[in-house]
Every structure is written in structure tokens, then in C-alpha cells.
Amino acid sequence: MSSELSLSVVDQSPVRKGGTARDALTETIELARAVERLGYQRFWVAEHHNLANFAGTSPEILIGQIAANTQSIRVGSGGVMLPHYSAFKVAEVFRMLETLFPGRIDLGIGRAPGSDQITAAALSYPRPQLDVRHYPHSRARHA
């Protein structure tokens, strides 16, 4: 049993008062660089849509930028919301990231709407929105 503690960060790219979305994304990348220097193991980014106070609408792009600006920290999504996207396309995008940054990319997926209903409908257009019941439940689910 190892006594080593593994630390991670989850960052939502918040837009601070007086700041811009660009500032928030730049600050997320700088935070990743700082925690890497401190020895953290992983850096996770979150996906949010249609919220002015969060800049992270596209985790796959932000993950690539973070990985390109760091050397060793693992970088991942704190949940790509599958109801909005083709699962095959998500797999291809993350395979590409893994090809560019071998051994450093993590894919976290989710099935929640992740936004208000109008935004969720816009993200899935032109196909109908998938209900969360479309996706399998975790084996760890309690009855």
C-alpha cells in the first residue's frame, strides 16, 4: 500500500468580475502549469454551456491547449455530456488528443443535460434530445 497522495484539480474556467472569457481560459492554462510544478497528477476541465460566468464550453479544445502548455500532468474532461454529441466523434477527438499527448489524456463522460432545456435542444439539433435513460446505468448503482 502506497502512502503517496495523488492530487488533482477540477477547473470550471470561471469568468471573474471584470474579466473576460479569454482571461478565464488563460487563467485555467496558467493554473494547470502552476499545479504541475507543484506535483499534482491530474487537471480536469468541466463543460458548461450558455453560462456567462463559465468560459469552458469545449473541453476538448481546452484540454489540447493545456496539454500543449504543460509537460507531464494528465489532462481530462470532468464530463463531456454525451447527450449533446456523437459518441463516436467524442472517441475520435480524444483519440487524436491521446495521439498528440500520449499517456496524458483522460476522458470523463456524463449523461446529464448540463444546461437549460433550450440550450440542450440547441446542442443536439437537428436530432431529438436523448433522454438520460438512453445511456446505461453504472454497475455500482444502488437499487
Question: Which band of pLDDT confidence, cut at 50, 70 and 90, is reported for residue 138?
Answer: very low
pLDDT over threshold 60, residue 136: no
15 inside domain: yes
Query: What percent of the chain has a predicted confidence (pLDDT) above 70?
Result: 76
Whose cell is 456524463? That residue is 110
26 inside domain: yes
Q: How far apart are CA 32 and CA 59, in angstroms?
A: 14
pLDDT in tens, 3-29: 788 999 999 999 999 999 999 999 999
Q: What is the CATH number of the domain that holds 72?
A: 3.20.20.30
The pTM of the full predicted model, rounded to 2 decimals, is 0.80
Q: What is the CA radius of gyration of the chain?
A: 16
The domain total for the chain is 1
Domain that holds residue 53: 8-132
The backbone torsions φ and ψ at residue 54, rounded to the nearest 5 degrees and listed phi first, read -130, 130
pLDDT in tens, 76-120: 998 887 777 888 899 999 999 999 999 999 999 876 666 666 666
Helix, strand, or coil (residue 143) = coil
Report the residue count for the chain. 143
143 inside domain: no
Which amino acid appears at position 18 of this protein?
G
